[in-house]
Structure 1
Amino acid sequence: MADNRMTYSIDSNMQFPLVEIALEAGERAYIQRGSMVYHTPSVTLNTRVNGRGAGFGKMLGALGRAMTSGESFFITEAVSNQDDGKLALAPSVPGQVIALELGDKQYRLNDGAFLALDGSAQYHMERQSVGRAFFGGQGGLFVMTTEGEGTLLANAFGSIKKLELKGETMTIDNAHVVAWSTSLDYDIHLENSFFQSIGTGEGVVNTFHGHGEIYVQSLNLQAFAGVLGSYLVTE
């Protein structure tokens, strides 16, 4: 009988690895929309409204999050009708994939970091303060927050490094933040004044304090897009 705990493998021999998930009959996983690479005939992909609850309220909640955070209105549910189900995923950007085990530890995720979550765990969209929403890239007015027990697969642009705080304070460029422990306090703000931030090139940062983990990515998607933009010819 399926327990909805994710069985997965990440091919470490690939520079930009695929994640292969094995599904038993009745087992399900929630995956990033558009991340499927291949699956066996026993696996079915279903589109679900990306919200909790039921009826019209669920649709309004999903629509509100999509408008304020850029998160998709829909999420993809993968379910197998046989014990030999197999599903492969790849992130939308080239980079590393890590597994975070949920239970005693829970995490908040930056935009674009979610790849997959097994059916035994859940997440909710936690409302942020207006100040955090104004400065942050972590979902605007909402930030994805995990709950329950299970496995979360997160992806990054480039490589991932784990930082562990034991009561210290750490300031990180907001565009490099992938995920962080819910036990940490965090404050999204400008590194300096507006004009100083323009001059140094360091704009919005996230200052963390307390006890917990932070996962950072080595590459900055916004900066990379800016470099590519300088080579695009516009009419």
Structure 2
Amino acid sequence: MKPVIAGTTMPILEIALDAGESIVAEGGDVAWLTPGLQLDTSTAHGTGGQGGFMSGLKRVLGGAQLFLTRYTAPSGGMVAFAAQLPGTIREVHIDAADTFMIQSGSYTASTTDVEVSVALQKKLGAGIFGGAGVVFQKLSGSGTAWVQLAGEITEYELKAGESLLIHPGHLAMFRAEMPLEFASIKGIKNKFFGDSLFLAELHGPGHVWLQSMNPAKLAAAIEPYLPDRSSDNSRP
């Protein structure tokens, strides 16, 4: 297996597969692929070999699809995935000592023994993310995963006893063993939160990846410029 991440602001993940090799991804995210690959869609994919419908439901709660697609190359081939937002695609190596939490929607693809599941959900009120709150997925098992991070990336290595307050939309990825709490910070007024701001407090030791682009704020910024579909539907 030979993965290549190419491009700049809108990167492409291209994975060359040797004969008999497979990867798993959300089916609708594929950009292009060579003929001859075998595609198999199932709830069992993305469960680290633990399979089953309930495992698929847990993945859905984390923002992924119920059915994931397994791409297998009987005699070799290639499959490519395109970033959905300006930013970067990172390769993450996972084993029993290295598990990661990623923001919902960041998962792109993985090798077959990686498990993608919901790990944290938090309602933060109607002012953030359209009232849906924040959801993080856990990458565990054994293998390699590729994740999409939005905008520019800043990394911090927090020592034991250190912590960082982060807007949830900018918290892209962190090591799963790091404690995470949410708190309402008084004294900041803005259009989303009134007189308080919800922030995530991440505690060390561990590594954290922060993204400069907040997808929810980006969606809110362009919403006023989108066509009003409700008015179109009301026309005779």
Say whether the fold is shared (TM-score over 0.5). Answer: yes
* Counterpart residue number, 1:3: none
Equivalent residue in structure 2 for 1:145, among 111, 128, 138: 138
Unaligned regions of 5+ residues in structure 1, if any?
1-5
Give the length in aligned residue pairs.
216
* Counterpart residue number, 1:93: 85
Equivalent residue in structure 2 for 1:8, among 3, 9, 15: 3
> What does the per-residue CA deviation read over 1:172-212, in whole Å, with 9 as the maximum and x for residues that have no partner?
11011111101211113333389787246x74321110111
* Counterpart residue number, 2:71: 78
Aligned partners of 1:33 and 1:75 also within 8 Å: yes
* Counterpart residue number, 2:107: 114
Aligned partners of 1:137 and 1:174 also within 8 Å: no
> What does the per-residue CA deviation read over 1:142-200, in whole Å, with 9 as the maximum and x for residues that have no partner?
x4222233221110222222221112100111011111101211113333389787246
Structure 1's 193 and 32: CA in aligned 2 closer, same or farther, altered over 3 A?
Answer: farther
Counterpart Cα distance in 1 of 2:153 and 2:197: 21
Counterpart Cα distance in 2 of 1:21 and 1:76: 15
Equivalent residue in structure 1 for 2:32, among 38, 51, 54: 38
Aligned partners of 1:109 and 1:179 also within 8 Å: yes
Report the Cα offset of residue 228 of structure 1: 0.8
Report the Cα offset of residue 126 of structure 1: 4.8
Counterpart Cα distance in 2 of 1:215 and 1:72: 24
* Counterpart residue number, 1:232: 226
Aligned partners of 1:170 and 1:208 also within 8 Å: yes
Query: How high is the TM-score relative to the length of structure 2?
Result: 0.79
Counterpart Cα distance in 2 of 1:78 and 1:225: 31
Counterpart Cα distance in 2 of 1:89 and 1:154: 11
Aligned partners of 1:110 and 1:137 also within 8 Å: no
Aligned positions of 1:52-201 closer than 5 A: 52=47, 53=50, 58-63=52-57, 65-66=59-60, 68-82=61-75, 84-103=76-95, 104-119=97-112, 121-128=113-120, 132-135=121-124, 137-139=133-135, 143-167=136-160, 168-192=162-186, 198-199=193-194
Aligned partners of 2:27 and 2:68 also within 8 Å: yes
Q: Give the letter for the 1:149 counterpart.
A: S
Unaligned regions of 5+ residues in structure 2, if any?
125-131, 232-236
> What does the per-residue CA deviation read over 1:60-85, in whole Å, with 9 as the maximum and x for residues that have no partner?
4423552x443211112111101x31
* Counterpart residue number, 2:203: 209
Counterpart Cα distance in 2 of 1:127 and 1:16: 28
Counterpart Cα distance in 2 of 1:216 and 1:59: 33
Q: Give the letter for the 1:181 counterpart.
A: R
Taking every aligned residue pair, what percent have the same amino acid on both sides?
23
Counterpart Cα distance in 1 of 2:81 and 2:116: 22
Structure 1's 32 and 193: CA in aligned 2 closer, same or farther, altered over 3 A?
Answer: farther
Aligned-partner SS, 1:205: strand
Aligned-partner SS, 2:104: coil
Aligned partners of 1:50 and 1:72 also within 8 Å: no
Which piece of structure 1 moves more, 41-50 or 70-79? 41-50
Q: Give the letter for the 1:215 counterpart.
A: W
Report the Cα offset of residue 107 of structure 1: 0.5
Query: How high is the TM-score relative to the length of structure 1?
Result: 0.80
